[in-house]
Chains A and B, each alone.
Chain A
Amino acid sequence: MAKNQEGMTLIVKTITRLTVGLILLFGIYIVTHGHISPGGGFAGGAIIALSFIHIMLAFGKEVTFKKMNQSVMSFFESVGAIMFITFAILGIGSGYFFLNFMLKGKPFKLFSSGLIPLYNLAICLKVGAGLFIIFVILVLLKIPKKGGEK
């Protein structure tokens, strides 16, 4: 504990360690149940990004980058965009752009409504990775430059 001086105090670190998993789990729940209950890709993606921002505010940047590298984030954002476009283009094969071609299933069940859960997943990846990249750029790329100017 003595070597890890970066970040906030011990109380904040302990509380963060206890709660950040629950926040991440809540985000995943919001995304996967987006078509049968309030929520969806936007809300879930923002909550997942907020959980990683929570880790970064409490523990500092080294611990966060051990869990979530910058190349991993850009990979996730690209995967989200490519998934979204791919599902949209696959609709052309049976009709038109953005056609929901999969079976609808039974309503009020988790596996229903065709492509909409997959779209939710793609948007979650895109929004979460995008917001986290914005935050990382705003917070981290500033500090070495400021130190260099002094």
Chain B
Amino acid sequence: MLELQLLLIFMIIGAIIAVKEKDLLSSVIAVGTVGLGLSLVFLILKAPDLAIVQLVVEILVIIILIRATIRRDLPFSTSGRWFFNTLVTFVFIGVFLVFIYLYIKDLPQFGQPIMKIAQRFIAEGLRETGATNLVSSVILDYRAYDTLGEATILFTAVMGVLAVMRKVGRKK
């Protein structure tokens, strides 16, 4: 699993550059490296469906963020209580990490999942649904309500974007 850890370190470095960079366009492109690294990680972790979707969605995210970023100025102000704010942030993240560590100790070891439900999907999925791709059979047959909810959320997001960006505004 050495390649997995190397890719994760690459993604963390990309994320730190995206956070610390002062130019907004460079920052958005650094987020692109994080997403493409995530696509490779999905491929290593035996999830080719997710790799395809993540690759395409990452390109769309970059296009949307560049559209929001381009030809805008950058108000980069470091005034205010710099030390106090940073200290509070790190204390919060530390407390959060402690609680997450207490939770992660109870998880099964990496590489040995429990798979109580998935055993039935794997054993009976081909006979019950006829679909060779088990992910497809899960999202469209066993758990189709998830897909219905996803379609609803996508429609709501389209309506929300249209309502926020519409041309006819109120006149004062």
A and B touch in the complex (CB under 8 A): yes
Residues 94 to 150 of chain A near chain B (Cβ within 8 Å): 98, 100, 104-105, 107-108, 112-116, 119-120, 123, 126-127, 130-131, 133-135, 137-139, 141-142, 144-145
The answer to the question of A43 belonging to the interface, with a C-beta cut-off of 8 Å to chain B, is: yes
Q: CA A97 – CA B51 in complex, angstroms?
A: 31
- 8 Å CB contact of B136 from A40, A47, A141, A142: A40
Q: Which residues of B contact A30 (CB under 8 A)?
A: 52
Contact across chains for B132 and A107 when beta carbons are under 8 A apart: yes
Contact across chains for A35 and B60 when beta carbons are under 8 A apart: no
Q: Which residues of B contact A112 (CB under 8 A)?
A: 130-131
Q: CA A88 – CA B67 in complex, angstroms?
A: 38
Excluding A35-B136, A39-B49, A43-B56, 18 further A-B contacts by CB distance (< 8 Å) are: A30-B52, A34-B136, A40-B135, A46-B53, A47-B56, A81-B151, A85-B148, A98-B145, A100-B141, A107-B132, A113-B131, A115-B140, A127-B154, A131-B60, A134-B64, A134-B158, A137-B161, A139-B67
Residues of A within 8 A of B (CB): 30, 34-40, 42-43, 46-47, 49-50, 53, 57, 77, 80-81, 84-85, 88, 98, 100, 104-105, 107-108, 112-116, 119-120, 123, 126-127, 130-131, 133-135, 137-139, 141-142, 144-145
Can you report 24 A-B residue pairs in the complex whose CB atoms are below 8 A from each other? Answer: A35-B136, A35-B137, A36-B131, A36-B132, A38-B52, A40-B136, A47-B52, A50-B59, A53-B60, A53-B63, A81-B155, A98-B141, A100-B130, A113-B129, A113-B130, A114-B130, A120-B136, A134-B64, A134-B158, A134-B161, A135-B60, A137-B162, A141-B167, A142-B165
